[in-house]
Structure 1
Amino acid sequence: MRVDGREVAVSGSLLQPLTRRTNDILRLTLAAIFLVVVVTSSLITRYEWEALEESISEIVGVLSPAQSNTVYLIYGVAILALPFVIFIGLILARQWKLLGAYAAAGVIAILSLSITGNGIAAPQWHFDLSERLDTVLSQFLDDPRWIAMLAAVLTVSGPWLPARWRRWWWALLLAFVPIHLVVSAVVPARSLLGLAVGWFVGALVVLVVGTPALEVPLDDAVRAMARRGFRASALTVVRPAGRGPMVLTATRERAGEALDPHEATAVVELYGPHQRGVGFLRQFWRKVRLRDDETAPLQTSMRRTVEHRALMAIAVGELTLANTSPIAVSSLERGWTLYAHEPSRGTSIDECTDDIPVSRVWDSLGILHSQQISHGDLRSREITVVDGTPIFGGFGQAEYGASETHLHSDIAQLLLTTTDLYGAEAAVRGAIAVFGNETVLAASRRLTKAAVPARVRTSVGDAAAALSTARDEVKRQTGADQIKTATITRFTRKQLVQMVLLVALVYVAYPFIGSVPVFFSELQSANWWWALAGLAVSALTYVGAAAALWACADGVVSFASLTVMQVANTFAATTTPAGVGGLALSARFLQKGGLGALRATTAVALQQSVQVITHLTLLVIFSAAAGASADLSRFVPSATILYLIAGVALGAIGVFLFVPKLRHWLGTAVRPRLKEVVDDLVELAREPKRLALIILGCAATTLGAALALWASVEAFGGHATFVTVTIVTMVGGTLASAAPTPGGVGAVEAALIGGLAAFGVPAGIAVPSVLLYRILTCWLPVFLGWPIMRWLTEKDMV
């Protein structure tokens, strides 16, 4: 390569790997949004759009007919020649690989707008100039397929074209909007559709084909370094641009004098135009995900990001703690950015832990923090040792005038790194010697997976073990009882779970809201004493469930707190399909109450097992008690359905037995849990008092719900027996556990209303009775369960 009259040798491959770059993804996303907006607006506001176009054209339509015709002819010729000019330009630039993508984008764009209900309608373009020229041109200007083809080929060829050409050609294409307003009074909606389709097709082709081999302005980079006194004589590609920058090594030109090997070379990092987008998106995502005191101000351009890194290297270099110094920072042609710096000095800290005590590493960080500078990336690879002093490199995450949060984050990161290198005891002792007990204890709150950046965690062998060991060692050396985890995210995991549950609650409550007016009109004739009795009886279900779970947990947790938790459990179970949220909440409550994770899960599984057995036993007993007075056949599925269910069950069992991975999962994950539950049931059978309490609690849950439904029926003047209502309630409860909707909404109401009708309860009584029953046993506890669950969370009970 020849630069300003001198030869610069270049070795290595400049061909960038085929990647799906951020700009390509953003382009396709924006094109898809634009296409949706155009299609939607044309369908919804078609007549208003045309009226707006006509009113605008009356304002801007100031040209005479002769002038309009001249403008139309000039623009038409330019639009007609545009694709051929692009085609010739690509040939002259020898972009052979691009020609295939160019042709594919044009053909796809034309075909996508040529599909009709009768097949593909081929374009009827002709170049017969025997007719009027404006007539020939109008077939292209007003045809959306031509506009789509132009937009597609411009999008595809854009990444390879000079920025000036690209801007002028897009301006020429988009000029059809004002041209149409001035000349033909309206902008055809189909032309805007063609523009949207063409842009989308072109963006899709670019994403599929990729944009490799973008021209790298190496000559401009050599000139930028020369202006800073580094005259490069050779460049060697170390890593082509991909997920990170293109990295090269530059060798300084020797003018007869002998140069130090360190001064004779430089590391050159070239950031491509696509990395501006990914860098900003990464910063923006951190800004959205983390709190303001965790994130630095947004750097809206790659140049500002690189400048910040170079300036931090200079600031740390003033303290003689930087293992590198910048040579040049510059914006290059075609959107590239240069950052050239000296190679890192010293030996990596992980190679000299036997010679350098951990206290020296903490001393270096203490000097950095004394000047209110945070590093932000304290991996072992960013710490080197020169003449026995640990110094730092990187500085991509460094901050000058750092907040206390950033300084604590540094201490937590170095605690993790030095724990991995020197052991927890030496690491914590060195940190306390420099920063003191209080500071280290406050910083140790950030020894969590969420607070320590992933790049630091992946640099150590076993991050989870190192974090836990470091926290325990901090507690031991500072005498702290516990270390409360620092909240660094805007939304904690608990808040996200609560938000999901709240959205699910709105979703499941929507069908109920529609029937509220009818229900309230029926309440005027209700007997409120029966309704209050149903409310009081429904409370038995929570006491029964709490008693059963309390006995399953061997009485370790508080019975009163467990009863209150059952109300929150109703909220969690109702807002999640199949009640899995309630099971998870029960297990979590038992864990916080002192049970281990395995024992808590087993207790919940045991309670559910006894609940199912009790439920089925009561169903058999009450069905037998109903006898011939009730037609129970309508609750039994047809033989075809039963055979289908049996076939699916047998097929599932066969699949699990014959597929090795599923069989292994059954043997290693399911079988031990089932064995624990069976063993607990056997052990439970040997304790009659405990077994009786669990069975009574489970029976109270089922019978309490039945009593609440019976009281609701009586409140509206119905006369169903308790036995029949109990059968209906248990069938409805079974459907609630099987229905895919949260809380069985819809399925439970339909089953209860149909069941009451089967036993002779009129629909005018069954419908409001079921709605009242669901309010007493479902919706009131759900709305009370939300604040109760928040209270339990604040008390650290769940």
Structure 2
Amino acid sequence: MPSPDEPREGGEPDADHGVRVEPTEPVTAVTVVEPVDADQPAQPDEPVDPAAAVEVIEPPIPDRVRRPADAIRLAVVTLFLVLGFVLADLAVGTRGAVEQDLAEATGGLPRILLTLLAWLSGLGAVLLPIAVGADLLVRRRPLQLVQALGAAVVGGILVIICVALVTTGHGGFLTDVLSRPTSTGQSPPLDIVVVSMIALLTVADIAGRKWISPIATTVVAATVLTTFLSGLVTLTALICSLLLGWLVGLAFRVGFGAVSTRPPGVDVARVLLDTGVPLERLRLVDANAAGDRRYAGTTESGSVDVHVIDRDTFGLASGRRLLRAVRLRSGFSRPPAVTLRAELEHRTLMGLLLADAGVHAPRPVAVSEVGPFAAVIAYVEPQGVTLAELDDLDDEQLAQVWRLVQTLHRRRIAHRGLSRRAVLIDAEGRVGLRTLGAGDLAADDITLRIDLAQLLTSVAIVVGPQRAVSSAVNALGKEAVVRAVPVLQSVALTPDTRSALKERKGLLGELRDELMTLRPSTEEVAPVELRRVTLRSVVTLIGGVVAGYLVLTQLAQVDLGEVIRTAQWEWVIVLVVFAAATFAGASIALAGAVQIHLRFIRTYMTQLAVAFSGLVAPAAVGNIALNTRYLQTSGLPPAVAGASVGVAQVAQFCSYFVLLVVAGVLAGTGPAVSFSPSPVLVAGILAVVIVAIGLLAVPKVRGVITDRVMPQVRSAVPQVLAIFQHPKKLAQLLGGALLLDVSFVASLVCATRAFGSDAPIPAVAVVYFAGAIIGSAVPTPGGLGGIEAAMSAGLIAIGVPGGTAVSAVLLYRLATYWLPIPFGWFSLNRLQKIGAI
């Protein structure tokens, strides 16, 4: 029969102490230290270990572990080594100048100091490996010594191979980057002493050793400095030698593992007893998501939850948090703690603040270091059932849930993990927190809103979206609840909540729709972008690099001074006038797409703001978003505003197509070219039609169209069709669209005339339309790079000289794209200030 203090199997809570035991692996060993017999007191010369009275149950701690932090360091060092090679190859001239400046600066050191450094380097290179080996043997780590020597040998072999490649003329890239010509051939590409020494020290893991660590640092610094001053190797070779030695050492540590620094449970029990926790029993439970080792502790008065943070597992949580911090913005992910002590202090402060706020949450009762590489924190855990274990909540419980988040937010405390498993209800009906979470103190507004969005979703899973929103509004108020709408996104939710939503498909959309009913119908809620790195940003970055390369290549062909001297400024002035007319055309077309009256100045400023937004968004996206917002603030419902912008876009497309056909015919391309599509195009259109028909056969797709798309279309179409019943509005719509495209064509014509070209106007028009098509397909702001390359090639194809073509296109883009940007910035700020956007 199990003792009353022993938790029941299967993770059930103990009747007396409530310890939840959920081991993730079978316990393979039990360490039980019997209490000292009271009838046989210890001898005076044998002090009694207080931990001897504690029953410790845990599996054997492995002798060697693979630390996640080592894998992260290995990846970072590899990246730095590659970047170092690339930068050194790109800056050959600068590299030599830097080496010369450093040599002159350090060469002025006193001769006696240089002599001491030389002696220290020479003796250190011989004696330091011996000292490290002796230290490892004293600490009874012969295997680690063998691995350290093996890493040094491997590093030396790599250097020998690299030197052989360079001296035989087969070094290629390495010869250009790492060495320089000398009177006897080439300088060594790497330093074998530096590489081997760094590899040995890395595997020996001397960090934290009181006397070896500073001595080793001094010897390495002296070796690097004297080697550089001797001129035997280049500065780049020295830096790469340091990185390569570190890389080899880390590879050995990741491959073979490092000596474990995890403290055993007996040491943890001893520390807890010293801090005043009357521990009787300590049992290892599992390793939680933070990378800690978690123990269930038993005392006379109840249970404690013990978390041990050690160097072996600390990097696991820090690595995950670092990836989240890189991928997501600060509101969702707190940056990782740099040191173990910083993590310990943050958790303790979080627990104490929650206790001070009166929140029923884990309360720290003991915090201490366990040796030089670990720390322990013990909590008194609240008992109860989590929301994940409940099928429903009554009104009072719901009110307490929202009062909990209200208390946290009033203290500016963010939990960052309000899932169903994080919120609990105890036997007395009090609502509290099961975990402290990866919380934040003095949290910003976006973080608190994400907290509210997480809790709204968690509660909606239990009681449904409608009841969750209504109870939150009753407790917090409508204004406080609707602040969560922009961050109500899947990426802002915890993994546990996202997993639950997979079983409740559509719930997140229902919750968002329920929250949207709380906002005025004229307001559009734009989601907050929580990701730092998205597919769009990656594509934009790659496209920007390619575009920059194309633009710089074109600029290299142009003498800007000659361009300014030879340009005919009367044509430049006309070009600027037509560039301004493009915004007038867009304004007139938008005014013709709505039944209400729009102020021309404000509409014109909105189109300028669209030009500025093109810097950070594709032209079509910025156009639609800003114009829709402008129409909403002018008094149109969201559905009608969106449909009206769509009508303006359709009118511009029709104008574009008509002018393209006319220009193609007049330029001599002939109607046959425009109206005889290739078999590939026909096959592509048929494929799209077949796929569309197939999707319509899917019931869920038809349901989405029937329930969400068709109601908006029915409400918007009558008002949009009313435009066609007013000839004045129709004339505005089509006339503005024609003015927009004609002005762009005229701008390009003026740019070519400014440099003396007399290319036919229809041919230049065809070039403009082709460039616009390519620009809309290039994923860069304003089609940067793609438009310039396409238009330049098009002008050259119709007979414009290469230099003139590039100059004309650059002048055209300066007037139609770059010049409006500062005016667009001013317009956007002004429209926001007066509430027009």
Contact 2:413 2:441 in 1 (8 A): yes
What is the CA-CA distance between 1:198 and the residue it aligns to? 0.4
SS across alignment from 2:426: strand
Contact 1:419 1:427 in 2 (8 A): yes
SS across alignment from 1:164: coil
Alignment of 1:51 with 2:98, yes or no, is no
Alignment of 1:620 with 2:673, yes or no, is no
Alignment partners' CA distance in 1, 2:406 and 2:771: 70
Structure 2 CA distance for partners of 1:6 and 1:109, relative to 1, 3 Å: farther
Contact 1:447 1:467 in 2 (8 A): no
* RMSD over aligned Cα atoms: 6.2
The equivalent of 1:131 in structure 2 is none
The equivalent of 1:322 in structure 2 is 360
Alignment of 1:218 with 2:265, yes or no, is yes
What is the CA-CA distance between 1:793 and the residue it aligns to? 6.0
Contact 2:450 2:488 in 1 (8 A): no
Question: Alignment identity in percent?
Answer: 18
Alignment of 1:272 with 2:310, yes or no, is yes
Alignment of 1:81 with 2:130, yes or no, is yes
Contact 2:309 2:375 in 1 (8 A): yes
Contact 2:298 2:304 in 1 (8 A): yes
SS across alignment from 2:432: strand
Contact 2:195 2:245 in 1 (8 A): yes
Alignment partners' CA distance in 2, 1:80 and 1:297: 38
Q: Please, which runs of 5 or more residues in structure 1 have no aligned partner? A: 122-140, 253-258, 637-644
User: Mean alpha-carbon deviation: is it higher for 30-39 or for 302-311?
Assistant: 30-39
The equivalent of 1:518 in structure 2 is 562
Equivalent of residue 396 in structure 2, options 341, 357, 360 = 357
Contact 1:279 1:302 in 2 (8 A): no
Contact 1:362 1:430 in 2 (8 A): no
Equivalent of residue 468 in structure 1, options 502, 512, 519 = 512
AA partner of residue 111 (structure 1): L
Q: Give matches, 1:647-796, under 5 Å.
A: 699-711=738-750, 722-723=761-762, 725-726=764-765, 729-730=768-769, 742=784, 744-748=786-790, 750-751=792-793, 753-754=795-796, 757=799, 772-791=811-830
Equivalent of residue 295 in structure 2, options 223, 230, 248 = 248
User: Mean alpha-carbon deviation: is it higher for 615-624 or for 13-22?
Assistant: 13-22
Alignment partners' CA distance in 1, 2:255 and 2:436: 35
What is the CA-CA distance between 1:269 and the residue it aligns to? 0.9
Structure 2 CA distance for partners of 1:737 and 1:164, relative to 1, 3 Å: closer
Alignment partners' CA distance in 1, 2:412 and 2:812: 64
Q: Give matches, 1:51-450, under 5 Å.
A: 51-56=104-109, 58-61=111-114, 74-79=123-128, 81=130, 92-93=140-141, 95=143, 103=150, 106-108=153-155, 110-112=157-159, 114-116=161-163, 118=165, 144-158=191-205, 163-164=208-209, 168=212, 171-172=215-216, 174-178=218-222, 186=230, 189=233, 193-207=240-254, 214-230=261-277, 232=279, 234-240=281-287, 243-252=290-299, 263=302, 265-273=303-311, 282=321, 301-310=339-348, 313=351, 316-317=354-355, 321-322=359-360, 324-349=362-387, 351=389, 353-354=392-393, 357-358=396-397, 361=400, 365=404, 368=407, 372=411, 374=413, 376=415, 378-380=418-420, 381-396=422-437, 417-422=458-463, 437=477, 441-442=479-480, 444-449=482-487
* Number of aligned residues: 720
Contact 2:155 2:195 in 1 (8 A): no
Contact 2:576 2:747 in 1 (8 A): yes
Alignment partners' CA distance in 1, 2:472 and 2:308: 37
Alignment partners' CA distance in 1, 2:645 and 2:524: 26
Alignment partners' CA distance in 1, 2:590 and 2:522: 31
Equivalent of residue 618 in structure 2, options 581, 602, 608 = 581
Deviations 1:6-45 (A, max 9, x none): 5744334645997772454246525754896699596553
What is the CA-CA distance between 1:60 and the residue it aligns to? 0.8
SS across alignment from 1:238: strand
AA partner of residue 584 (structure 1): V
Structure 2 CA distance for partners of 1:454 and 1:603, relative to 1, 3 Å: same
What is the CA-CA distance between 1:518 and the residue it aligns to? 2.4
What is the CA-CA distance between 1:706 and the residue it aligns to? 3.7
Structure 2 CA distance for partners of 1:601 and 1:473, relative to 1, 3 Å: closer
* TM-score where L is the length of structure 2: 0.65
Deviations 1:558-616 (A, max 9, x none): 5946655444445556x58xxx8222223324543356498578647744653453243
Q: Please, which runs of 5 or more residues in structure 2 have no aligned partner? A: 1-30, 34-48, 89-93, 169-187, 632-636
Contact 1:373 1:398 in 2 (8 A): no
* TM-score where L is the length of structure 1: 0.68
The equivalent of 2:493 in structure 1 is 454
Structure 2 CA distance for partners of 1:700 and 1:369, relative to 1, 3 Å: closer
